[in-house]
Amino acid sequence: MANLKTRYTDGARRGFFHLGVILARRGFTADMMTYIGLLLQVAALPLIITGYFGWALVIGIIASLCDALDGAVARAGAGPTTAGAFLDSTLDRVSELMVAAALVVYFVLEGPQWGPIVAMLVFMGAAQMVSYIRARAEALGVDCKVGFMSRPERLVGLGIGFLFSWWEPGGTSFLVWWLYLLTVLTVITVVHREVHVLRKLRALEAPPALEEPPAPAADEQLADELWPEPSGRGGRGY
């Protein structure tokens, strides 16, 4: 699973880099792409709240492309910066929270439907934990890319839910069933990353194994046998 994820991620980055070169030559910067992506996500919020998931998906795809291209534009232009990376990471969290919050509002207006509302609240928290665990682990010097439900997979998952939201297997929208699945998988990813980081940190902090003292030399052994040390019990001296 990890090899497959790495393979398609690396392939996508190579493809985006070529587009990044074109955009950088036309004067676009990485920060501009980040802000454009955020504004597009904001534009999709009313569509999500009112249940126009198809149109929200179209805008979300364009926003995700902008978000994916900001790094490519940075590499093709002046180069990535720590400030740009920080801005991108924080606005990614804001964007994801806005979409999830819009879905909560939608389910409140529809019923309220408490099942999907609770699922979305858990999904929101677990999604932030997935990103936080990786950031905290890397700050402590531990690599943490395990688990399947990182941000790109969560976005694709929500997109699939939006695409088939019209379908109602068992009288319930496919989007609801799909959100339950995404929530469970995201929580599993949180647990997976937590266990992974704890194992790595405990391995780094484990005390070194005690070395056995060196065996005494042959001359010392012979001296001990010929002239043993006194026992110190007050025996008769010679």
61, 32 in Cβ contact below 8 A? no
Query: From the candidates 67, 70, 88, 92, which is the catalytic residue?
Result: 92
Place of tokens 């990044």: 20
99, 56 in Cβ contact below 8 A? no
Burial class (CB in 10 A: 0-12, 13-18, 19+), 5: middle
Question: How far from the centroid of its chain's Cα atoms is residue 52's Cα?
Answer: 29
> Which two tokens mark 223?
């001296």
Q: Is 92 annotated as catalytic?
A: yes
In angstroms, the CA 90 to CA 80 distance is: 16
Place of tokens 């232009």: 77
The continuous run of DSSP H or E covering 117 comes out as helix 114-139
Q: Report helix, strand and coil shares of the chain as percent, to nearest 5.
A: 75, 0, 25
How far from each other are the two terminal CA atoms of the chain, in whole angstroms? Answer: 79
User: Which amino acid is residue 94, in one-letter code?
Assistant: V
Active site residues: 92
